[in-house]
Structure 1
Amino acid sequence: MLTENSKKLRTLLNCSIFAAITAILAQVEIPLPLIPISGQTLAVGIAATILGSRHGAIAMVVYATIGAIGLPVFAGFSGGPQVLVGPSGGYIFGFIAAAYLTGLVLEKTKFTLPMALVANIVGMIVTLIFGTIQLKIVMDLSWNAALAAGVYPFIAVGLVKAFLASWIGITVRNRLLQAKLIADTKEEIA
């Protein structure tokens, strides 16, 4: 039987692991003129699907924080506060909201592949909204230009990543629950 301190430690470790996974997948990128396509959003979806709203969001806060202090965890091995206030910073802030909302949708419905796909698409939309707003402001773009640079190139690949995050997330979550390596977020809410 796990003590309360053991459960807290396991939760912190899980959040840290997913922050590290996000940092690793951030380096898988396809360069574009303003904002690259990267594996970060795939990691956000997987984290939220496995950990749920609170812990998925905490994992993304950890990720953003370690990047903000200068560790090269963002896309292209970048880091520092200048990234968070730059053209791509809104996407990183969006990861936190996306992880929370993705997990919340699943907690309020069911942890099934179809619902995970819906939840991950919601998360993708949230990330794109945050990112495009900051991109528009920082680069002083028109809305059409901001959408052309910050949304349109990411829709098709975002849908593929939403499916992958859902499939991987549900599969891994079920196995981790069976092994009692994560807590059931539905039980925590009740």
Structure 2
Amino acid sequence: MNEKSKRLRILLNCSIFAAITAILAQVEIPLPLIPISGQTLAVGIAATVLGSRQGALAMVCYAAIGAVGLPVFAGFSGGPQVLVGPSGGYIFGFIAAAYITGLILEKTRFTIRMALIANIAGMFVTLLFGTIQLKIVLDLGWNAALTAGVYPFLVVGFIKAYLASWIGIIVRQRLIQAKLITATQKEIAS
């Protein structure tokens, strides 16, 4: 496969996962400030399937599409005002979370157990980014920011981390078998 074909495949993979994130963003449970949505499930699956760089690139694509105004964020919202608003930190956190999740898997092994550990780490990265921006934008104290930005998401976050791990590893294995993504050296050796 030549370099142009590899780049095209990477762009297609990232676009597909940006679209999946946009779709799952619309699955939401409303809360007073920040809804619980399927976005973080999509972030975990993207990172588990694509790895650090492509997973993060998929989230950059997702954030960019929303930043220009397409209604891809939770509640069919979009535009730069979302990125600078109370929920924007979570969206920026998706990029970092995808990178960290994928990096952990690349440095260890692509197994469901390691994917769960990596996705839990990614969940906390997202919550960290989101809570910091929530605190700053709404001028909240740390207790109020944690109460609004972390605690409501923990239980469902662990469930989504497990689902992202399980789904992501299965999809990754199938895509490797179909030669649609490339296995890491560690995966080839095992």
TM-score range, shorter chain: over 0.9
Q: Within the alignment, does 1:143 sit opposite 2:160 as a pair?
A: no
Q: Within the alignment, does 1:76 sit opposite 2:75 as a pair?
A: yes
In the alignment of these two chains, the number of paired residues is: 186
Q: 2:128 corresponds to which letter in structure 1?
A: I
Displacement, 1:6? 0.9
The equivalent of 1:90 in structure 2 is 89
The equivalent of 2:45 in structure 1 is 46
Displacement, 1:18? 0.2
The equivalent of 1:165 in structure 2 is 164
Displacement, 1:184? 2.1
Displacement, 1:8? 1.0
Q: Within the alignment, does 1:127 sit opposite 2:126 as a pair?
A: yes
Return closer, same or farther for 1:185/1:73 CA change in 2, 3 Å cut-off. farther
Return closer, same or farther for 1:107/1:186 CA change in 2, 3 Å cut-off. farther
CA distance in 1, matches of 2:185, 2:138: 41
Match of 1:8, SS state, is: helix
Cα distance per residue 1:131-189 (max 9 Å; x no partner): 000000001111000000000000000000000000000000001001100122457xx
CA distance in 1, matches of 2:141, 2:30: 22
TM-score (norm 2): 0.96
- Structure 1 runs of 4+ off > 6 angstroms? none
After superposition, residues 166-185 of structure 1 pair within 5 angstroms as: 166-185=165-184
Return closer, same or farther for 1:3/1:28 CA change in 2, 3 Å cut-off. same
**Structure 2 residues not aligned, in runs of 5+:** none
Cα distance per residue 1:7-41 (max 9 Å; x no partner): 11011000000000000000000000000000000
CA distance in 1, matches of 2:109, 2:100: 14
Q: Within the alignment, does 1:11 sit opposite 2:10 as a pair?
A: yes
CA distance in 2, matches of 1:64, 1:186: 31
Return closer, same or farther for 1:138/1:33 CA change in 2, 3 Å cut-off. same
**Structure 1 residues not aligned, in runs of 5+:** none
The equivalent of 1:105 in structure 2 is 104
Return closer, same or farther for 1:115/1:100 CA change in 2, 3 Å cut-off. same
CA distance in 2, matches of 1:125, 1:25: 19
CA distance in 1, matches of 2:132, 2:176: 37
